[in-house]
């Protein structure tokens, strides 16, 4: 597999913080559930809609794409895309914006390199199939952005892949492109991402990165049920047994973070959480 690894990703804060946008999924959930998440970030209401939910696999693949977009200098001119691949990417993004001069970040990579960036240990057919399924799910998600009297829509991303060569081009949406350029971003340590072992830990890690800066500690202790909400979303309608199971899962996820150098101290039924400084 490729040796290339990014140190960090500048990720869009809204994609990171939206409760329930990514969550651990059980067998059959992709077929049974749909994505319907609304999140207000600043003065903008973001409605994420998709035919399937997004799980830990989609989370790590999107993190890897955003990380790869950091050093990329390729841009997609939405109004006048260059080349056949650019035209296909622009059309699939379904980006509707009054600013016809908008430019979006494009990643040119391979399936093998993306697997390595996301932390997959091997580059086999099963892993490639899983990443392709995640790309399809991400590309199917539409974001409706409502700010005052203005509304626009966009896809999370679009992609163009050559199955024979493994060559892959990915265009990311306007919010992700702006974050990569340094606007309103969440800093994600990609070495930590690649070291995480479970989906609950991956989801919790991203949510905590969303509101704890590198080298800082959250000013107040965070309750275990609040942390479970970060991982699983709205707890309404679940049984007491499920609540207990989720608490146990969250505590195990916190142990994974401790293994990465995060400082987690119990405070009653809550936790004081400190994040490592940037490498």
Do 270 and 251 touch, CB atoms closer than 8 A? no
Report whether pLDDT(3) > 70. Answer: no
Same-domain check for residues 80 and 200: no
CB atoms within 10 A of CB 241: 8
Do 128 and 191 touch, CB atoms closer than 8 A? no
How many domains, the chain? 2
175-209: pLDDT as tens digits: 999 999 888 899 999 999 999 999 999 999 999 99
5-41: pLDDT as tens digits: 899 999 999 999 999 999 999 989 999 999 999 999 9
Last residue of a domain, one of 160, 190, 220: 190
Same-domain check for residues 165 and 202: no
Q: Which pLDDT does position 18 carry in this prediction?
A: 94
154-174: pLDDT as tens digits: 899 999 988 777 789 999 998
Kindly state whether residue 3 falls inside one of the protein's structural domains: no
Same-domain check for residues 91 and 222: no
Same-domain check for residues 95 and 114: yes
Q: Which pLDDT does position 235 carry in this prediction?
A: 73
Kindly state whether residue 1 falls inside one of the protein's structural domains: no
Same-domain check for residues 88 and 163: yes
Same-domain check for residues 262 and 128: no
Single pTM value for the model:
0.91
Kindly state whether residue 89 falls inside one of the protein's structural domains: yes
Kindly state whether residue 266 falls inside one of the protein's structural domains: yes
71-127: pLDDT as tens digits: 766 766 665 566 677 777 777 777 665 455 567 888 889 999 999 999 998 888 999
Same-domain check for residues 64 and 183: yes
Within the chain, residue ranges assigned H as helices are 13-17, 29-32, 56-69, 83-93, 111-118, 125-140, 174-180, 190-195, 199-211, 224-232, 240-259
Same-domain check for residues 66 and 103: yes
Residue 4's pLDDT band, with cuts at 50, 70 and 90, is low
Instruction: Count the alpha carbons within 13 Å of 137 in the hemisphere toward its beta carbon.
Output: 25
Kindly state whether residue 130 falls inside one of the protein's structural domains: yes
Residue-number span of the structural domain to which 53 is assigned? 8-190
Q: Which long-range contacts (CB under 8 A, 24 or more apart) does 161-164 make?
A: 161/111, 161/132, 161/135
């Amino acid at each position: 597999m490729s040796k290339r690894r990014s140190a960090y990703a500048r990720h869009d804060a809204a994609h990171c913080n939206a409760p329930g946008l990514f969550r651990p999924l059980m067998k059959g959930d992709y077929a049974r559930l749909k994505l319907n998440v609304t999140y207000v970030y600043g003065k903008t209401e973001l409605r994420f809609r998709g035919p399937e939910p997004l799980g830990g696999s989609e989370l790590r693949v999107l993190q890897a794409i955003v990380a790869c977009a950091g050093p990329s200098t390729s841009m997609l001119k939405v109004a006048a895309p260059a080349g056949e691949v650019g035209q296909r990417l622009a059309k699939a993004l379904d980006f509707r914006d009054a600013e016809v001069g908008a430019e979006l970040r494009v990643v040119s990579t391979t399936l093998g390199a993306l697997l390595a960036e996301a932390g997959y240990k091997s580059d086999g057919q099963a892993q490639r199939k899983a990443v392709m399924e995640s790309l399809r799910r991400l590309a199917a998600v539409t974001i409706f952005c409502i700010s005052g009297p203005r509304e626009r829509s966009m896809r999370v991303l679009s992609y163009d892949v050559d199955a024979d060569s493994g060559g892959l081009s990915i265009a990311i949406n306007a919010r992700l492109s702006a974050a990569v350029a340094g606007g309103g971003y969440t800093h994600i340590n990609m070495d930590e991402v690649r070291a995480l072992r479970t989906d609950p830990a991956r989801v919790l890690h991203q949510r905590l990165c969303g509101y704890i800066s590198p080298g800082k500690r959250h000013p107040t202790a965070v309750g275990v049920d609040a942390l479970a909400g970060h991982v699983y979303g709205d707890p309404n309608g679940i049984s007491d047994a499920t609540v207990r199971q989720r608490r146990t899962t969250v505590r195990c996820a916190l142990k994974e973070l401790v293994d990465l150098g995060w400082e987690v101290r119990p405070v009653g039924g809550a936790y004081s959480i400190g994040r490592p400084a940037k490498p």
